[in-house]
Structure 1
Amino acid sequence: MQDRRNFLKLGAGAALGGLASTMPGTVMASECGEIKWNESADVIVVGSGFAGLSAALNVKRSGVGSVLVLEKMQVFGGNSAINGGWLAIPKNPTQLAQGVNDDSPEELVKDQIISGRGMQNEDMLRQIANRALDAYDLCIETGVKFRKDFNIQVGGHNKARAIRTQHGTGGDITTKLYEAGVKEGIDYRLQHYIEDFIMDGQEIIGLKVRQNYRFPDLKTGKSIYIKANRAVVLANGGFARNMELRAAVDPSLDPTLDGTNALGATGEVTLTAMAHGALPVHMNLIQTGHWGSPDEGGFGWSNALLSIGWHEGVSVSVLNGKRYMNERADRKTCSEAIMKNRYQDGSPAYPVVFFNHKDHPDDDRVVRALRDDMAWKVDSFEQLAEKFNIPLTQLKQTVKEFNAQVSTRQDPLFGRKMDTAVELKPPFVVSRIWPKVHYCMGGLKTDIGARVIDGRSMKPIKKLYAVGEVTGGVHGEARLSSTSCLECLTMGIVVSETIKSDV
């Protein structure tokens, strides 16, 4: 099959200059005459995390035709498969069973407005919150299991509305969405790298794809052309692992910070979309996860362990043995407070978080952390102080003051909500913390229906859509915990409705 179309003359490499020459995925788009399409699909989804899998399944169920999912890595799931499996759902069944009856989608949006610090897209957040139960139903219907009776209040939220998957990992969701898609006829392919978009003016008509690609070697595989009859949905995630791009958009971000993302989170599809006119927003807003541990690489177990520590325990500076923040504040607030803990030479003075071991001796979060040496059991204040070089007298005074605050349920120092705090007595479970680069707030501008906006015309690029972390401007300056999975799953539903209405 042949169809005469032209690439845009300005390719990604030309648009981004010298930066592109060292970045994966920023290829020069050459002018092309006749294109011999190797194959076609009605809808092509790029990426296989929460957003891509949700979009693919919901698009398939909408009846608009065949769906092809392209994943550049050797496994499906991306960052979603390795995340903590948290999902913020107002009015979820466990929340209601706990007697939390005063929550609502609007309450969630209120929390996100505070966290977004005036930079958020309220209409988008409201749409996502209003579809939260749809996302929950999608999970349940496809076989996802959540922890029995587990629903807690996480940082920056004013209500307990965060549920968690059975095994504490996003893989519990990605696996079930993938399995459902296979049964319903979705075509999933690994090791398919997007080299360029094939455009006809302001309309995307297909993709140039490197088949049998082996990350990160761009010389592997071969190029093929896949025609998109009705839509291309970008769900390729963020760019937190692209160190050069990180430095370019936010020079203030500490380049030594570890990251929680999978190695494939390099953002090349985002850059290619930008080169073809897609409008980027908030690219300099890169969020760190304040629950990172310097004693394990990548995402790790620290996030799960600190779901206990932030609520029941306390965080103190090793420099002076004092508390230094509201342990239950949002990610940005906590990360900034943590990273102020430095020695005179500027090196990190890793603060510690600790809570009572006797309250959780058999909890899998504790057992795993102790097993993997990213947390330790200490039997006394003296052992705690000696192991982490903390001033003993002040450490004891800090805990004494904290225990008094537990009794009164008031924190005059930092305004922490104390409803879940407990009186601290050794032995303790102790871990060190230091933020890790976690989430890109910025990406491609879309309208509320997930249509990608062309910065030259401020109108949608025809047949091009984007969902999940690849989009920008949704959460504003900081994203609340457990809302990324919610956004990805709900926008996968929304984009399927948009595509059907646009066809």
Structure 2
Amino acid sequence: MTNTIFVRQLKTMLTWLGIRNFTIGKRQIFQILLSLVVIMTVNASRCDADDESCVQEITDRPIIVVGSGLAGLSASIEAYNAGANVVLVEKEPRVGGNSAKATSGINGAASKYQKNAEIDDSVGTFKKDTLSSGDGLCVESLVDLLANNSASAIDWVSSFGVELSNIVFMGGHSQQRTHREPARPDGKPSPVGFNIVSALRKHAESLVGDKFAIKTGTKVERVITTKAGEDIVASGVQVSDSDGNREELIGTIVLATGGYGNDHTDSSLLQEFKPEVANLPTTNGPFATGEGVKMGRAIGAQLMHMDKVQIHPTGFIEVTDPNSASKFLAPEALRGSGGILLNSEGKRFTNELGRRDDVTAAIFAQKTTLKGVDNSPSVAYMLLNEDMCDKFGQPNLGFYKFKKLVRPVESLKDLAEEMGADVETLKETLSNYGKDADPFGKKVIPYTFNADSDKLWVAVITPAIHYTMGGLSINTQANIMADGSNRPIKGLYGAGEVTAGVHGGNRLGGNSLLECVVFGRIAGKSAATYTQDTLASARELDEPTE
């Protein structure tokens, strides 16, 4: 290999690593040796002598998106749209993650659907609700981004063929802004998270080719880094397939690996940071074990709010297995559609549309348990009538009815007996609901009950681990930040539940899917820009040097 090609490759590699202020000449022996170490560290491509195309091969690196939930899909699509090569890596056999399990909806303020429905909402009001829910712990600049980009996020998701015109109230909101799909004409369910993820997955699959790859069944084991002065520079990841074969992928990284709401591994983040809730049931899939947070931590990323774990007030109790550690989520939209919560006395005890942490605390305070069940969890009874079921969507409710998670009430007497309540007290609760000012401060009452004629449905629910607000600290460009400094880790971005700061101490319902879209798109664009800027700098330096 000629001197000129050798030096050009050294310059290119150093630039890729973020080291741009340097000189190379005949006397810079130390710098050349350092460069050789760097090349070996990042597993640079081997080149034939005098092959000038090697410079492009070294610098033409992809965006490596780790995790294929809604955040990862959003990042992948936007990075590709920005002109980048993309490799989407997923440890599970299929794309989707926890996002596909989301059932309540995605928030948007001043969206086209709200305007069509004459719902008077604003970005400012949405921001205020989010900050209030976060108990002063939200990073306000991130909340600004979330709220200001919420309407465009709804538009973007809709552009993939997902209609989000059914808008409901959720707990902690001051206006209807949680967008769901309307009932389908064919009577089939419209699970909003699954359908959004499916639409983006199909689009991503249509992009597969020379510039876009999807690797399922592939686990990322670590992030590869080097040091450049005071900076940490991420340059790739080590992955392994189901057969244990390992390889290194070199490129700019977006972590979108989700949270740690089902982390019962030997290095459990739940046990480390929130042991008092670690044994509660969870709505998370078995894959929610915090790998992204752990990998970030291992290379010096900043963690924040790790003890902030959201306990959702309503996980379904399966009558045949009430102590199961895994729960189907009873969507907040059930309460947003009018469902009420009752204790064992047949009385309401909380504002069903209050903040999630408040409703959860109220359920635990009732100390209601299942009759005849040893070690019964704390439970409450959710009651709905047909109007409420219609608002939620009968097809969507069909799955829960099929699983017997939502059951018909044969008579108030039978329900009272199951609960251990007096039937007259139960009748009084239903008859008085919504007649006067609500004793628990509930301001939105979509429907009331007729205790004598309503067809009723009941579900037994219990609080369950649902979401982890803690994770890796990011800035407004979705850069993951280094611990102990105000500097980003170069070449490393994050989006979704793996990150922290947006939700503070308590996430507002409907903000999870929105966060995935808003910050997934930002991370994808930022990663593409970083890669393009690095390549541009490398080309500026690509000139003959003696």
- TM-score bin, normalised by smaller chain: 0.7 to 0.9
The CA distance in 2 between the partners of 1:343 and 1:432, in whole Å, is 11
The CA distance in 2 between the partners of 1:84 and 1:359, in whole Å, is 16
User: Is 1:429 aligned with 2:457?
Assistant: yes
Contact 2:171 2:509 in 1 (8 A): yes
- Residue in structure 2 matched with residue 451 of structure 1 by the alignment: 479
The CA distance in 2 between the partners of 1:87 and 1:199, in whole Å, is 35
TM-aligned CA deviation for residue 90 of structure 1: 1.2
- Residue in structure 1 matched with residue 316 of structure 2 by the alignment: 293
The CA distance in 2 between the partners of 1:227 and 1:278, in whole Å, is 19
Matched to 1:177, the amino acid is L
Instruction: Describe how 1:307-326 pairs up with structure 2 within 5 A.
Output: 307-318=333-344, 320-326=345-351
Contact 1:37 1:225 in 2 (8 A): no
1:53-110, CA deviations, whole angstroms, 9 ceiling, x for partnerless residues?
A: 00010011112x211110011111110112216111112233212211x311111111
TM-aligned CA deviation for residue 309 of structure 1: 4.1
User: Is 1:415 aligned with 2:441?
Assistant: yes
- Distance of aligned partners of 1:301 and 1:242 in 2 relative to their CA distance in 1, 3 Å threshold: closer
Contact 1:309 1:354 in 2 (8 A): no
- Residue in structure 2 matched with residue 239 of structure 1 by the alignment: 260
The CA distance in 1 between the partners of 2:430 and 2:104, in whole Å, is 32
Matched position secondary structure for 2:259:
coil
Matched to 2:282, the amino acid is G
The CA distance in 1 between the partners of 2:410 and 2:278, in whole Å, is 35
Q: Which moved more, 1:447-456 or 1:351-360?
A: 351-360
Instruction: Describe how 1:271-350 pairs up with structure 2 within 5 A.
Output: 271-295=294-318, 298=326, 300=328, 302-303=330-331, 307-318=333-344, 320-342=345-367, 347-350=376-379
- Residue in structure 2 matched with residue 268 of structure 1 by the alignment: 291
User: Is 1:47 aligned with 2:67?
Assistant: yes
Matched to 1:251, the amino acid is P
User: Is 1:187 aligned with 2:235?
Assistant: no
Instruction: Describe how 1:84-233 pairs up with structure 2 within 5 A.
Output: 84=103, 86-100=105-119, 102-146=120-164, 149-165=165-181, 167-185=190-208, 186-201=212-227, 202-210=232-240, 212-213=241-242, 220-228=243-251, 231-233=252-254
The CA distance in 2 between the partners of 1:123 and 1:145, in whole Å, is 29
- Residue in structure 1 matched with residue 48 of structure 2 by the alignment: none
TM-aligned CA deviation for residue 496 of structure 1: 3.1
Contact 1:311 1:328 in 2 (8 A): no
The CA distance in 2 between the partners of 1:327 and 1:104, in whole Å, is 24
Alignment counterpart, residue 372 of structure 1, candidates 399, 403, 409: 403
The CA distance in 1 between the partners of 2:389 and 2:111, in whole Å, is 26
TM-aligned CA deviation for residue 275 of structure 1: 1.4
> Structure 1: 5+ residue runs without aligned partners?
6-30, 214-219
Matched to 1:58, the amino acid is E
Matched position secondary structure for 1:407:
coil
The CA distance in 1 between the partners of 2:492 and 2:110, in whole Å, is 33
The CA distance in 1 between the partners of 2:162 and 2:387, in whole Å, is 31
- Distance of aligned partners of 1:91 and 1:474 in 2 relative to their CA distance in 1, 3 Å threshold: same
1:218-264, CA deviations, whole angstroms, 9 ceiling, x for partnerless residues?
A: xx421101111xx2111111011112321210122151x22111211
User: Is 1:248 aligned with 2:272?
Assistant: yes
Matched position secondary structure for 2:192:
coil
TM-aligned CA deviation for residue 35 of structure 1: 5.8
User: Is 1:489 aligned with 2:489?
Assistant: no
Q: Which has the higher helix share?
A: 2
Matched position secondary structure for 2:275:
coil
Alignment counterpart, residue 427 of structure 2, candidates 396, 402, 407: 396
Q: Which moved more, 1:346-355 or 1:134-143?
A: 346-355
Query: Between Structure 1 and Structure 2, whose CA radius of gyration is higher?
Result: 2
The CA distance in 1 between the partners of 2:41 and 2:174, in whole Å, is 57
TM-aligned CA deviation for residue 359 of structure 1: 6.3
User: Is 1:59 aligned with 2:59?
Assistant: no
Contact 1:301 1:369 in 2 (8 A): no
- Give the TM-score, by structure 1 length: 0.84
1:175-209, CA deviations, whole angstroms, 9 ceiling, x for partnerless residues?
A: 22122223334211101111111111110111111
- Distance of aligned partners of 1:67 and 1:108 in 2 relative to their CA distance in 1, 3 Å threshold: same
- Residue in structure 2 matched with residue 81 of structure 1 by the alignment: 100
- Distance of aligned partners of 1:290 and 1:301 in 2 relative to their CA distance in 1, 3 Å threshold: closer
Q: Which moved more, 1:355-364 or 1:325-334?
A: 355-364
List, as ranges, runs of 4+ consecutive aligned residues in structure 1 with deviation greater than 4 Å.
2-5, 31-40, 296-299, 343-347, 358-362
Matched position secondary structure for 1:302:
coil
Matched position secondary structure for 2:476:
coil
1:396-437, CA deviations, whole angstroms, 9 ceiling, x for partnerless residues?
A: 3322332xxx234x20x2101144131342431111111111
TM-aligned CA deviation for residue 457 of structure 1: 2.7
1:301-326, CA deviations, whole angstroms, 9 ceiling, x for partnerless residues?
A: 621xx6244542421111x2221111
Matched position secondary structure for 2:328:
coil
- Residue in structure 2 matched with residue 23 of structure 1 by the alignment: none
The CA distance in 1 between the partners of 2:153 and 2:513, in whole Å, is 9
The CA distance in 1 between the partners of 2:337 and 2:312, in whole Å, is 16
TM-aligned CA deviation for residue 388 of structure 1: 2.5
TM-aligned CA deviation for residue 289 of structure 1: 1.6
- Residue in structure 1 matched with residue 469 of structure 2 by the alignment: 441
Contact 1:37 1:226 in 2 (8 A): no
TM-aligned CA deviation for residue 392 of structure 1: 2.6
Matched position secondary structure for 2:236:
strand
Q: Which moved more, 1:373-382 or 1:446-455?
A: 373-382
Q: Which moved more, 1:44-53 or 1:453-462?
A: 453-462
The CA distance in 2 between the partners of 1:418 and 1:208, in whole Å, is 51
- Distance of aligned partners of 1:481 and 1:359 in 2 relative to their CA distance in 1, 3 Å threshold: closer
> Structure 2: 5+ residue runs without aligned partners?
1-8, 15-37, 46-56, 183-189, 534-546
Matched position secondary structure for 2:271:
helix
Q: Percent identity?
A: 28
The CA distance in 2 between the partners of 1:459 and 1:200, in whole Å, is 15
The CA distance in 2 between the partners of 1:313 and 1:270, in whole Å, is 36
TM-aligned CA deviation for residue 373 of structure 1: 1.0
- Distance of aligned partners of 1:41 and 1:358 in 2 relative to their CA distance in 1, 3 Å threshold: same
Between Structure 1 and Structure 2, how many residues are aligned? 455
Contact 1:355 1:429 in 2 (8 A): yes
Contact 2:260 2:290 in 1 (8 A): yes
The CA distance in 2 between the partners of 1:427 and 1:177, in whole Å, is 39
Matched position secondary structure for 1:151:
strand
Matched to 1:150, the amino acid is N
Contact 1:209 1:226 in 2 (8 A): yes
The CA distance in 1 between the partners of 2:180 and 2:44, in whole Å, is 43
- Residue in structure 1 matched with residue 52 of structure 2 by the alignment: none
Contact 2:171 2:356 in 1 (8 A): yes
The CA distance in 2 between the partners of 1:272 and 1:301, in whole Å, is 28
